[in-house]
Structure 1
């Protein structure tokens, strides 16, 4: 069974709300504190990019179950101007004078990460963190 929440990103407070909902969902699924923090940082980066570059969009937070795997999937969607994917995925590349570690850093924090973008349709980024289940000891 999949659960999905949507947070509209219209202002900076919405970034905080999306981050909070993502961390809460991660905790409910059983992610450890380190993975909860990685998910929260990723959501912050994706939501901040929506607000800064597209003006508005959505963050979808979904629990996913595939076979014997459980995960949390974050989807950021906007109707903005799109981006040059090869450029923005290079460490150090920045259009805003920042460190240029945003999307490449978010990708490193998650297990799966895809970006689709075009000037006509905007951008959709999907990032998934899989729950690491520790089998019983002594086997």
Structure 2
């Protein structure tokens, strides 16, 4: 609301009200769909169609080369972060953990997912092992 000193009355600023209503609708959509899906739906709506997913040739080659090959969690994670060019969000620590959920979201466009198991014998005993497997 704006106060008019000449008349001594309050008036509603229509532009501010429209902005508030828009921000409120965006926030509700983010709560319902999640941030990632809400932003994608807004971008798709503005562009008038689907947005093609970017697929890196390096990542595709790495995934094809290491498909169904068990690797230690930390080794596969470091390699995937490198080939998928994933970095922590701006303002976040570079030591921030990027987990399996985020990696699987990125790997989904390549048609693969991470399968996690716990090794019970051999040199990897009691260590977490990740394997890239095809999505069904």
TM tier relative to shorter chain: under 0.3
- TM-score norm. by structure 1 comes to 0.25
- TM-score norm. by structure 2 comes to 0.25
Greater gyration radius: 2
Indicate the structure whose relative CO is greater, using CA pairs within 8 Å and at least 6 residues apart: 1
